[in-house]
Amino acid sequence: MQLFGNKKHLNTREAEWIEGAKRGERRCQKAIYDLLSAKMFAVCLRYMGDRDAAEDILQDGFVTLFSKLDSFSGEGSFEGWARKIFVNTALMSLRKKDALKNSEDVDAAWNITSDAPTAIQQIGYDDLLKMVAALPPGFRTVFNMYVIEGYSHKEIAEALGISETTSRSQLQRARVLLQSKIKERY
């Protein structure tokens, strides 16, 4: 049985933390928080685009995680299970803010042309994350879900309450914006 990550197996200490957190033990909750907070903050930041909003989502995500801890079956990755909670928490917040209200259809996206930048090889991971974070919320959300989390356009459409066409359009426009930002910078 796996708990944290794909290759790391459940160890006694981690199992104790989960069981203790289920009983509401603060020490165990803090241990889980310390273990996951940095990675989950990165997830929140990718979706929300700024630190303050990401910190709010991180806090809300941990509240949800601890309230739903009984639903973790112990099968699969605990970190993967937790990641879904944080992604869903971010998506709920974006839905409330109507982040996709200015979505355009895919036909409009096809009218935007851009050459593939050769500078992509020069860009650092941190710079790319900053560029993704600066995308408009709708573009950033679909980009994260499709490129980073691996959701299909159908899954994105269902999760966000948009059409698959809109999901494709948002992804295309996000890519074009990122390409032009990379070209400007490099």
Task: Among 3.10.20.600, 1.10.1740.10, 3.40.50.10260, 1.10.10.60, name the CATH number for the domain at 12-96.
Answer: 1.10.1740.10
pLDDT in tens, 66-102: 999 999 887 778 898 999 999 999 989 988 877 555 5
Q: What is the mean pLDDT of the chain?
A: 81
pLDDT digits (tens, 9 = 90+) for 43-64: 999 888 889 999 999 999 999 9
Q: pLDDT category, 29, cuts 50, 70, 90? A: very high
Q: Encoding tokens for residue 48?
A: 């929300």
Dist CA 153 CA 162 (whole Å): 10
pLDDT at 101: 57
From 102, 117, 126, select the one nearest 182 (Cα to Cα). 117
Percent of the chain past pLDDT 70, that is, above it, reads 80
Question: Which architecture characterizes domain 106-185 according to CATH?
Answer: Orthogonal Bundle (1.10)
Q: Where are the domains of the chain?
A: 12-96, 106-185
Q: What pLDDT was estimated at residue 7?
A: 40
Q: What is the pLDDT of residue 100?
A: 55
Q: What is d(CA 87, CA 35) in angstroms, rounded to the nearest whole number?
A: 17
Q: Which residues pair with 2 in a beta bridge?
A: 9
Structure tokens at 44: 């929140």
Q: What is the pLDDT of residues 100-144, one digit of tens each?
A: 555 444 444 434 444 444 444 556 777 878 888 889 988 999 998
Res. 155: pLDDT tops 70: yes
Residue 11 pLDDT class (50, 70, 90 cuts): low
Residue 2 phi, psi dihedral angles, 5° rounding: -100, 155
Which whole number is the average pLDDT over 16-25?
92
Positive or negative: CA dihedral 155, 158, 161, 162 = positive
Q: What is the pLDDT of residue 149?
A: 86
Name the strand (E) or helix (H) holding 106: helix 106-110
**H helix or E strand, kind and range, residue 36:** helix 26-48
